[in-house]
Chains A and B, each alone.
Chain A
């Protein structure tokens, strides 16, 4: 951690730090989701970030587009939006870009202000692409790195079937996790996916449990 006196030299530095943290968390999130994130991006320091993006980073330049490790023909796009209310016109712009790029299967939209209901509606009704909407405050801290957080792993379909068979369970009998849960959003999970949760506690650990996204 850099010294406190460095802070608040100007407003821009606080803002650039916000963008830096948000970008880092997003990259970590993409890595955990299985995208091909270059190591150079993950190890970028705040200083380097400021050097390359300036005190008031350009939102267009912050955009991230990365392919999936398992299937490079599929890729993801991260779009950062400004502090104003996210209106339908802006969203239409983004949607047009999405439609141009056929390799996209997922888009993450990071907003700072509020979003109008029409804009939200427009995002949810896209045919091919799933859009995850994040508030910038969600991404300042990587929730999976929080001390209260146990380790989460996403199970593959085969692993899930094996688990269900082992305990002779149905989907709805496994402990649940909501789709809106912070962790489910982080991994971009859909209904029916199962998470393996390994917690490292004090008296009786480590301990494995599972949750099914509902």
Chain B
């Protein structure tokens, strides 16, 4: 199936494909089946081949990373082959060379790395052969990748983690997942695909698959009990660490019981204890894990697998060998299932590590009964998470798809819905195809790598290198010519990045002060030569570099007709399934939680009016002054009369009854609040409940800290009730701050600057508070941003919020997809959620809405109102069984007929 254009169906209804394509098919071998579709027309066959063929879909449009790449065993064997100390004699090397091409390829054997006493080839040379088997194949691979275990000093890295291919020769580095695996933009296969073509990448993958499958079959690779046996040193160390940690925990618990635990900011005593204990216990696991990893033999199979990235992580290994660690349910230690304890094996109210789910044993030593039970508790949470998550994300993906299905690129570069409404005037602001982006974070080209390639493939030889002035002139000229070309120039950002890049490359020359004066005289002195070697570029090299940049930039434009909506919906929906449902996360400061993960994505996409953790980030006008930050905090945070009053008491004298409020002026001053008896009087009068009650009440200000509130002169029998209800209401009167704000936290950045995190809503009020820099205040509540700042700000907010949420889970999605989603949500002028109500406002088609939700309702209403459906969108066309106006269907062939044939549908004249 892979890399050949036809499926290989084997006897007994089985099929065979290259392991590298497991990823895009999401295939594994736990009973997977596949279905066969046989296109019936030549047109359909061509479309299937061109659009759906594996060859043409090596990259994911989600972010342009390579999706079809080596996995599992292929990585392991490549890792083992390219070890620094692996050498092969002529027989072994030739045998391995013939593995990769079934013995049918012509191979030019490279010069052996060692000649005496016997000829020996390195494993790295084998990969040079693999990339370019013979001189006729003109593939010049140039790349540098930092593998997972890279330390420092480039090719002198002690772990051999710096992979450097120069003109298809592997110079250094042990190959692993970063070079050969998926999810990378600078790996071998990505570079082959971008610099050459799909065929180059595919044949190379095929060779690697054949080589590694055959090689590892002979070499053998397995895991046994001795791989997970802890050594003497590890056992000793582990025992010491656990004892130490338990002692620390006991101390903490004791000081908690005595009540002299030092509180963390924003936490109460119990929370502080939990946080501290969790910290200690995590440290035990981490420390034992590091010792464990250090003690492992270099031929340990799990270690090899985790190093090359084929399977497993250091945590998995240390859980098998050293210590399983703390089990958690809902982000906390094991909860109490019995009265005041987790299990009846422990004393009541015990907070000991073992009583709350700490597993000190390893999987090798075996778990105790209680440990095992805690482990199952943690395990069950994971299972429940996956079960719940699939339903949630599945529905989200369906809604996204329904909302975005009919968006496509038109020939004027606009993104339009089926009815012709413009959603974006230029797709993703630059009209580039996300699937073809080479650089990190959606930049079209990786200039650094291209520069490296150009310098390697066209050597300078005797040509003189250019001066910085000349370079910038050539760059600007080239860009100007390209702009004038009919194919259309490049975006401003790209031009800027290109000239900035060239400018930076000239830095070495500048530092050696060789810039303007040097014009290439006859006998260049030493520094000039050095500079030319380090950063010089000849005019030919520069020309080639610029040509490649511009031509490749042009080839990355998105094609008209692309169903970019559907692609975007998939790109945002798919990562959702991978996100763990773990909801909370610290946002820099202690105790300020922000909803993340699937729930947050749902909030954003639903356009929820009320979000679970609204947070306003407010930079201050005086950034460096903590005192002023406190004053501003006092103005923002809600303060009730109960917070600042020393006492509120009912005073009865023989003549009158009243309530006297005494303010705690010391406390008020300490908190830098500007509250006086007069201001309190005003706020009491504004309180809605008291306002209605207090028509005739009067408030007297006795002095600057005392107030007297007299009840109305009405019915004396009700006086007692009135006084008491007043007494109960008064502490809730808000005397200072914004009522909707729960609390505000001062956040100190690393550079000493302060800003304010405000938990709660009312962005406008926070912006207007004196001392807050209103122009930089942001909120994560999209609806509120829309209300205060308008639709364009809301659009930006949606983009940044989705981006933040995805980034915090390590998902990289091209910005263009999120822009499209944000634009769709805002193009009607209000923020529409991707829900049945929002979609109803976005789309006109009845059939489309009926195929989504509330089918009968939509159809009845439409028939009652005599609605018309033009059958333009995707759903409608599918329902009616006609080709969709998207993709290849965007084209129509029309014939100009000279004279329309007049058809007569009336009755035959003879009969009438």
- Segment at the interface with A among B134-142, B421-429, B561-569: B421-429
A141–B768 contact, CB under 8 A?
yes
Interface flag for A41 (CB, 8 Å): no
A167–B422 contact, CB under 8 A?
yes
A204–B770 contact, CB under 8 A?
no
Closest 8 CB pairs of A and B: A141-B774, A176-B829, A207-B429, A4-B628, A140-B768, A182-B790, A148-B793, A175-B827
B775–A4 contact, CB under 8 A?
no
State A178–B674 Cα separation when bound (angstroms). 40
Q: A176-B828, A182-B789 are in contact. List 13 more A-B contacts (CB 8 A).
A: A141-B768, A142-B775, A146-B775, A146-B789, A148-B789, A148-B792, A149-B792, A169-B422, A173-B421, A175-B421, A204-B430, A204-B816, A205-B429
A146–B793 contact, CB under 8 A?
yes
Interface flag for A96 (CB, 8 Å): no
A197–B428 contact, CB under 8 A?
no
A210–B425 contact, CB under 8 A?
yes
- Segment at the interface with A among B39-47, B456-464, B619-627: B619-627
Enumerate chain A residues within 8 angstroms of B874, measured Cβ to Cβ. none
Enumerate chain A residues within 8 angstroms of B549, measured Cβ to Cβ. none
Interface flag for B785 (CB, 8 Å): yes
Interface flag for A66 (CB, 8 Å): no
**6 A-B contact pairs sorted by A residue (CB < 8 Å):** A7-B770, A141-B768, A173-B416, A181-B791, A201-B429, A209-B425
Interface flag for A206 (CB, 8 Å): yes
Interface flag for A8 (CB, 8 Å): yes
State A1–B775 Cα separation when bound (angstroms). 14
State A203–B778 Cα separation when bound (angstroms). 21
Interface flag for A152 (CB, 8 Å): yes
State A207–B764 Cα separation when bound (angstroms). 28
Enumerate chain B residues within 8 angstroms of A7, measured Cβ to Cβ. 631, 770-771
Interface flag for B420 (CB, 8 Å): yes
Residue of A nearest to B410 (CB): A167
Known pairs A138-B764, A178-B829, A205-B429; A183 contacts B625 (CB<8 A): no
Enumerate chain B residues within 8 angstroms of A147, measured Cβ to Cβ. 775-776, 778
Interface flag for B414 (CB, 8 Å): yes
Q: What is the minimal beta-carbon distance from B548 to any residue of chain A, in angstroms?
A: 21
CB contact list, A162-214 vs B, under 8 A: 167, 169, 172-178, 181-184, 197, 199, 201, 203-211, 214
CB contact list, B622-653 vs A, under 8 A: 622, 625, 627-628, 631
Interface flag for B767 (CB, 8 Å): yes
Enumerate chain B residues within 8 angstroms of A3, measured Cβ to Cβ. 622
Interface flag for A17 (CB, 8 Å): yes
Enumerate chain A residues within 8 angstroms of B416, measured Cβ to Cβ. 173
Known pairs A3-B622, A137-B764, A176-B827; A203 contacts B790 (CB<8 A): no
B424–A177 contact, CB under 8 A?
no
B767–A140 contact, CB under 8 A?
yes
B829–A182 contact, CB under 8 A?
no
A183–B790 contact, CB under 8 A?
yes
Q: Which of A145, A173, A201, A207 contacts B422 (CB 8 A)?
A: A173
Q: What is the minimal beta-carbon distance from A189 to any residue of chain B, in angstroms?
A: 11
Known pairs A176-B827, A209-B425; A150 contacts B442 (CB<8 A): no
B429–A204 contact, CB under 8 A?
yes
Enumerate chain A residues within 8 angstroms of B815, measured Cβ to Cβ. 203-204
Known pairs A1-B621, A4-B628, A204-B430; A181 contacts B790 (CB<8 A): yes
Interface flag for A95 (CB, 8 Å): no
Residue of B nearest to A147 (CB): B776
Interface flag for A14 (CB, 8 Å): yes
Q: Which of B412, B770, B790, B828 contacts A14 (CB 8 A)?
A: B770
Interface flag for A143 (CB, 8 Å): yes
Interface flag for B282 (CB, 8 Å): no
Known pairs A8-B674, A177-B791, A203-B441; A148 contacts B425 (CB<8 A): no
- Which B residues have a C-beta under 8 Å from some C-beta of A? 412, 414, 416, 420-426, 428-430, 432, 441-443, 491-493, 621-622, 625, 627-628, 631, 674, 764-765, 767-768, 770-771, 774-778, 785, 787-793, 796-797, 815-816, 823, 826-830
State A169–B674 Cα separation when bound (angstroms). 57
Enumerate chain A residues within 8 angstroms of B816, measured Cβ to Cβ. 204
Residue of A nearest to B815 (CB): A203
Q: Which of A8, A17, A143, A209 contacts B790 (CB 8 A)?
A: A143
Enumerate chain A residues within 8 angstroms of B625, measured Cβ to Cβ. 4
A145–B775 contact, CB under 8 A?
yes
State A175–B789 Cα separation when bound (angstroms). 17
State A173–B771 Cα separation when bound (angstroms). 43
Enumerate chain A residues within 8 angstroms of B787, measured Cβ to Cβ. 182
Enumerate chain A residues within 8 angstroms of B420, measured Cβ to Cβ. 169, 173
Enumerate chain B residues within 8 angstroms of A172, measured Cβ to Cβ. 421
State A1–B632 Cα separation when bound (angstroms). 14
State A145–B517 Cα separation when bound (angstroms). 45
Residue of B nearest to A145 (CB): B775
Enumerate chain A residues within 8 angstroms of B621, measured Cβ to Cβ. 1
Q: Which of A148, A182, A208 contacts B778 (CB 8 A)?
A: A148
Residue of A nearest to B679 (CB): A11
State A214–B830 Cα separation when bound (angstroms). 11
A183–B414 contact, CB under 8 A?
no
Q: What is the minimal beta-carbon distance from B804 to any residue of chain A, in angstroms?
A: 14
Enumerate chain A residues within 8 angstroms of B767, measured Cβ to Cβ. 140-141
B622–A150 contact, CB under 8 A?
no
State A183–B829 Cα separation when bound (angstroms). 12
State A178–B627 Cα separation when bound (angstroms). 42
- Among B770, B826, B828, residue most surrounded by chain A Cβ atoms (within 10 Å): B770
A203–B443 contact, CB under 8 A?
yes
B829–A148 contact, CB under 8 A?
no
B830–A178 contact, CB under 8 A?
yes
B774–A197 contact, CB under 8 A?
no
State A89–B777 Cα separation when bound (angstroms). 38
State A176–B789 Cα separation when bound (angstroms). 15
Q: Which of A182, A184, A208 contacts B425 (CB 8 A)?
A: A208
A207–B426 contact, CB under 8 A?
yes
Interface flags for A54-72 (1: CB within 8 Å of B; 0: not) read 0000000000000000000
Known pairs A4-B625, A149-B793; A140 contacts B774 (CB<8 A): yes
Enumerate chain B residues within 8 angstroms of A145, measured Cβ to Cβ. 775
Enumerate chain A residues within 8 angstroms of B430, measured Cβ to Cβ. 204, 207
State A150–B420 Cα separation when bound (angstroms). 25
State A182–B784 Cα separation when bound (angstroms). 12
Residue of B nearest to A163 (CB): B425
State A169–B621 Cα separation when bound (angstroms). 45
Residue of A nearest to B621 (CB): A1
Known pairs A14-B770, A169-B422; A149 contacts B764 (CB<8 A): no
Q: What is the minimal beta-carbon distance from A200 to any residue of chain B, in angstroms?
A: 10
Enumerate chain B residues within 8 angstroms of A1, measured Cβ to Cβ. 621-622
Q: What is the minimal beta-carbon distance from A87 to any residue of chain B, in angstroms?
A: 18
State A173–B424 Cα separation when bound (angstroms). 11
Q: What is the minimal beta-carbon distance from A61 to any residue of chain B, in angstroms?
A: 22
Q: What is the minimal beta-carbon distance from B771 to any residue of chain A, in angstroms?
A: 7
CB contact list, A13-33 vs B, under 8 A: 14, 17-18
State A176–B841 Cα separation when bound (angstroms). 13
Q: What is the minimal beta-carbon distance from A95 to any residue of chain B, in angstroms?
A: 28
State A7–B765 Cα separation when bound (angstroms). 18
- Among B674, B789, B823, residue most surrounded by chain A Cβ atoms (within 10 Å): B789
B493–A177 contact, CB under 8 A?
no
Residue of A nearest to B627 (CB): A4
Enumerate chain B residues within 8 angstroms of A17, measured Cβ to Cβ. 770
Residue of A nearest to B423 (CB): A175
State A167–B775 Cα separation when bound (angstroms). 35
Q: What is the minimal beta-carbon distance from B360 to any residue of chain A, in angstroms?
A: 48
State A184–B790 Cα separation when bound (angstroms). 8
Q: Which of B414, B493, B797, B826 contacts A148 (CB 8 A)?
A: B797
Enumerate chain B residues within 8 angstroms of A149, measured Cβ to Cβ. 789-790, 792-793
Q: Which of B426, B628, B777, B792 contacts A183 (CB 8 A)?
A: B792
State A4–B441 Cα separation when bound (angstroms). 41
B768–A197 contact, CB under 8 A?
no
Q: Which of A4, A140, A178, A204 contacts B491 (CB 8 A)?
A: A204
